[in-house]
C-alpha cells in the first residue's frame, strides 16, 4: 500500500490545492510501480494550514498565477522525491530504474507503454540478474496495447546514471551488436534508465520502477501470517 501525507504552512485555497495535488499525483505517485499491484488503501493527502502567511493577501488562489504555478511545481518535485523513495525501497530492490518512453502520439499512450515495461516480471527479474535482455523490453512494448506502434521505428537504449555513453540495444527495429561487457557495466549500477523511442509522435512519459529481489519474494511469501 502507498500512503503519503504532505503538510505545508503555505496559505492556499481549497480549489487551488486540489488542482496542485491532482497535477502532482499524476506525475509522482501515479508514475511508480514496484510490483504492478494496486492496493485497497492507496491515499495521498495534503494539508495546508496557512501558518506561514503574514497577511490575507498572500493566499494562493489564482491557478494561472506565478505563485500557484511555483507551488504546484514545488509540490510535484517534492512528491516525486517521496515516490522515488518507495521505489528505492521496493522490499529489498537492488535497482532504481527510470523507464522513459519517447516519440509517442499522446502522453497516455507513452504512459501505457512505460507502465507495461515497468510491470513486466521478466524485465524486472532480468534487471535483478543484470542481464541485458532487451528482447523482454521489446516484447512488453509490443503487448502494451498501443496500436500505432510501428516495429521498424522502435529503438531501445540503456542510459547509465553516471553520464557515460548510452548503450544502444535496438535501433529502428534492428538489433545492435551489443557489447555485453558494457551492458553488464551499466546493469551493475544501482540506477539506470531504459529509454524507448517509438518514433511515431512527440509526447513522452516516465515511470520509475525497480527489480524483483529475493527479499521481495521472501517478504511476500508469508506476509499475512
Catalytic site residues? 1
Lookup: cell for 92: 529489498
160 binds another protein (CB under 8 A): no
Q: Pick the closer one to another protein by CB: 86 or 132.
A: 86
Task: Work out whether 214 is an interface residue with another protein (CB under 8 A).
Answer: no
Q: Minimum Å distance from CB 171 to another protein? A: 31
Residue 6 and residue 78 in contact, taking contact as beta carbons nearer than 8 Å: yes
Closest distance to another protein from the beta carbon of 29 (Å): 5
Q: Which is nearer to another protein, 63 or 200 (CB)?
A: 63
Residues numbered 72-111 forming contacts with another protein, rule: CB under 8 A: 74-75, 78-79, 81-83, 85-92
Minimum CB distance to another protein, residue 176 (Å): 31
The C-alpha atoms of residue 182 and residue 39 are separated, in whole angstroms, by 38
Cell, residue 67: 505563485
Give 179 or 190: the residue with its C-beta nearer to another protein. Answer: 190
Q: Minimum distance from CB of 157 to another protein (Å)?
A: 25
Q: Smaller CB distance to another protein: residue 14 or 147?
A: 14
d(CA 113, CA 119): 10
Interaction with another protein in 4-23: which residues (CB under 8 A)?
4-14, 17-18, 20-22
Say how far apart CA 120 and CA 117 lie, in whole Å. Answer: 5
Spatial distance between the Cα atoms of 122 and 125, rounded to a whole number of angstroms: 5
Q: Are 140 and 155 in contact (CB under 8 A)?
A: no
The interface region with another protein, picked from 67-75, 101-109, 128-136, 145-153 by CB under 8 A, is 67-75
List the beta strands (DSSP E) in the chain. Answer: 3-8, 32-33, 43-48, 96-104, 155-160, 167-171, 174-175, 191-197, 203-210
Amino acid at each position: 500500500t502507498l500512503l503519503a501525507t504532505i503538510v505545508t504552512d503555505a496559505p492556499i485555497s481549497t480549489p487551488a490545492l486540489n488542482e496542485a495535488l491532482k497535477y502532482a499525483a499524476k506525475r509522482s505517485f501515479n508514475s511508480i510501480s514496484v510490483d504492478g499491484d494496486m492496493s485497497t488503501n492507496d491515499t495521498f493527502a495534503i494539508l495546508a494550514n496557512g501558518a506561514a502567511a503574514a497577511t490575507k493577501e498572500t493566499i494562493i488562489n489564482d491557478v494561472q498565477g506565478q505563485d500557484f504555478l511555483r507551488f504546484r511545481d514545488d509540490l510535484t518535485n517534492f512528491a516525486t522525491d517521496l515516490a522515488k523513495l518507495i521505489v528505492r525501497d521496493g522490499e529489498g530492490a537492488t535497482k532504481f530504474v527510470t523507464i522513459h518512453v519517447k516519440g509517442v502520439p499522446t502522453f497516455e499512450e507513452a504512459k501505457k507503454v512505460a507502465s507495461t515495461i515497468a510491470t513486466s516480471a521478466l524485465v524486472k527479474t532480468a534487471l535483478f540478474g543484470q542481464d541485458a535482455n532487451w528482447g523482454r523490453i521489446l516484447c512488453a512494448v509490443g503487448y502494451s496495447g498501443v496500436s500505432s506502434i510501428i516495429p521498424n521505428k522502435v529503438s531501445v537504449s540503456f542510459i547509465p546514471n553516471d553520464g557515460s555513453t548510452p548503450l544502444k540495444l535496438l535501433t529502428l527495429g534492428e538489433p545492435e551488436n551489443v557489447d555485453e561487457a558494457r551492458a553488464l557495466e551499466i546493469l551493475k549500477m544501482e540506477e539506470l534508465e531504459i529509454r524507448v523511442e517509438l518514433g511515431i509522435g512527440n509526447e513522452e512519459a516516465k515511470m520509475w520502477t525497480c527489480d524483483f529481489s529475493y527479499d521481495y519474494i521472501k517478504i511476500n511469501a508469508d506476509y499475512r501470517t
